[in-house]
């Protein structure tokens, strides 16, 4: 049964229950290739928290103050056409016991790195799925969202489908911090993917040609390694020019992202 519930006049409140830190492995709904936690390439593997490559550097730096080190696994990878190399666009954060985030303290039921947690955690419970395009929707399994729904209709049971009959503006008013963060990250990601594909798209395998047998022997590079490698190895003039332009925009994008993220997080610090 589908319930139509309007929660737009309420304000989201996080109960710090830890549900979103505990069940973090999920099926991808985008049909992308990615790696599982044994390093094997699979279609539609389960994925954990997605960390953008530029956020990864920030997190690694910040973790030094906690004496902790993150385990990252490749998420989205671009595979090259004529060379056995791929470069990693996004990462997944390590999990424990195939269940919970590596930074979740199970005994205390709290995040060990709460002040420096990734943006995806700060903007939870909002997310988008393949059916709703870029519209942001709350996750039905979040305790805070369940409370909001029950405030309107206490008969809705866990797991029942809920339809939210209100606009994205109203969503922004119910989830002000989360909406602001997630919407900014999505628009940055789209802008950046556009630069990558505009400048370098012709160098990558088309998705339909990416198969585990074809790309399992690829060496994966991060963006910096990829740019260094490309400078040395790509000799064709036209391609070199493209990489040079991409590299400039990429550096600009990285700095812009770091500044934007720092100011967003500062503005919305808990
Ligand atoms: S965001 Fe939701 S699921 Fe996560 S800790 Fe807060 S209330 Fe719990
Ligand atoms: S980083 Fe912290 S807030 Fe994010 S999932 Fe892990 S434990 Fe939870």
Please state the rounded mean pLDDT for residues 207-230.
Answer: 84
Alpha-carbon distance of 84 to 160, in angstroms, equals: 46
The mean-pLDDT minimum among 23-27, 163-167, 169-173 falls in 23-27
* CA 202 to chain CA mean position, Å: 25
11 pLDDT band, cuts 50/70/90, is: very high
Q: In whole angstroms, what is the distance from residue 180 CA to residue 264 CA? A: 9
pLDDT tops 60 at residue 270: no
Triad 239, 86, 242: Cα angle to 5°: 15
In this predicted structure, the answer to whether residue 186 has a pLDDT above a threshold of 70 is: yes
- Best of 144, 146, 147, 148 for a ligand 1 pocket test (most atoms within 8 Å of beta carbon): 144
Please, which pLDDT band fits residue 75 given cuts at 50, 70 and 90?
confident
Contact (Cβ atoms closer than 8 angstroms) between residue 128 and residue 135: yes
Q: Is 86 in the pocket of ligand 1 (CB under 6 A)?
A: no
The predicted model gives 82-101 an average pLDDT of: 88
Instruction: State if residue 122 touches ligand 2 by the CB under 6 angstroms criterion.
Output: no
246 close to 195: Cβ distance less than 8 angstroms: yes
What is the pLDDT, as a whole number, of residue 145? 93
Q: Is 120 in the pocket of ligand 2 (CB under 6 A)?
A: no
Model confidence over 133-159: pLDDT tens digits?
Answer: 678 889 888 999 999 999 999 988 877
Angle made by CA atoms 254, 93, 71, in degrees to the nearest 5: 95
Total number of domains constituting the chain: 1
pTM here is 0.83
Choice between 158 and 102, residue whose per-residue pLDDT is larger: 102
pLDDT at 37 over 80: no
Helix (H) or strand (E) holding 72: strand 72-74
Measured distance CA(56)–CA(62) in Å, rounded: 10
pLDDT at residue 232 in the model: 83
Range of the domain at 37: 2-267
**138 CB near ligand 1 (under 6 Å):** no
Please report the atom of ligand 2 found closest to the CA of residue 113. Answer: 2
pLDDT at 129 over 70: no
More confident residue, 164 or 43: 164
Please state, in angstroms and rounded to a whole number, the distance separating the CA atoms of residues 217 and 155.
53
CB of 104 sitting under 6 A from ligand 1: no
For residue 103 and ligand 2, the question of a CB distance below 6 A is answered with yes
pLDDT over threshold 80, residue 252 = no
Does residue 15's CB lie within 6 angstroms of at least one atom of ligand 1?
A: yes
Cα 12 to averaged position of ligand 1 atoms, centre (Å): 10
- Count CB-CB contacts under 10 A for residue 242: 19
DSSP notation for 229-267? HHHHH---HHHHHHHHHHHHHHHHHHHHHHHHHHHHHHH
Contact 231, 223 (CB under 8 A): no
Average pLDDT over residues 13-23: 90
Q: Ligand 1 centre and the CA of 136: distance in Å? A: 16
Contact predicate 76/140, CB 8 Å: no
Q: Name the residue at shortest CA distance from atom 5 of ligand 2.
A: 21
pLDDT higher than 90, residue 66: yes
CB of 68 within 6 A of ligand 1: the answer is no
Both tokens of residue 265? 């997080």
């Amino acid at each position: 049964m589908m319930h139509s519930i309007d929660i737009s006049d309420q304000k989201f409140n996080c109960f710090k229950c830890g549900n979103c830190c505990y069940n973090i492995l999920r099926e991808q709904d985008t049909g992308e290739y990615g790696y599982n936690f044994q390093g094997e390439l699979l279609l539609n593997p389960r994925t954990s928290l997605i960390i953008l490559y530029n956020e990864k550097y920030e997190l690694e730096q910040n973790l030094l103050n906690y004496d902790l080190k993150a385990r990252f696994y490749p998420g989205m990878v671009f595979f090259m056409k004529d060379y056995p190399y791929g470069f990693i666009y996004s990462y997944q954060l390590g999990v424990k016991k195939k269940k919970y985030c590596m930074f979740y303290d199970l005994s205390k039921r709290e995040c060990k790195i709460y002040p420096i947690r990734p943006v995806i955690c700060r903007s939870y419970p909002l997310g988008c799925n393949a059916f709703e395009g870029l519209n942001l929707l709350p996750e039905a399994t979040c305790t805070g969202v369940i409370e909001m729904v029950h405030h309107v209709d206490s008969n809705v049971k866990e797991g029942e489908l809920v339809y939210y009959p209100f606009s994205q503006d109203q969503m922004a008013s119910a989830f002000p911090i989360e909406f602001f963060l997630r919407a900014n990250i999505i628009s940055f990601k789209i802008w950046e993917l556009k630069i990558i594909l505009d400048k370098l798209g012709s160098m990558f395998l088309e998705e339909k040609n990416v198969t585990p047998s074809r790309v399992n022997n690829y060496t994966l590079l991060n963006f910096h390694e990829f740019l260094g490698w490309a400078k040395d190895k790509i000799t064709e003039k036209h391609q070199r020019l493209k990489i040079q332009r991409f590299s400039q925009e990429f550096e600009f994008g990285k700095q812009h992202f770091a500044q934007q993220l720092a100011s967003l997080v500062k503005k919305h610090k808990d």
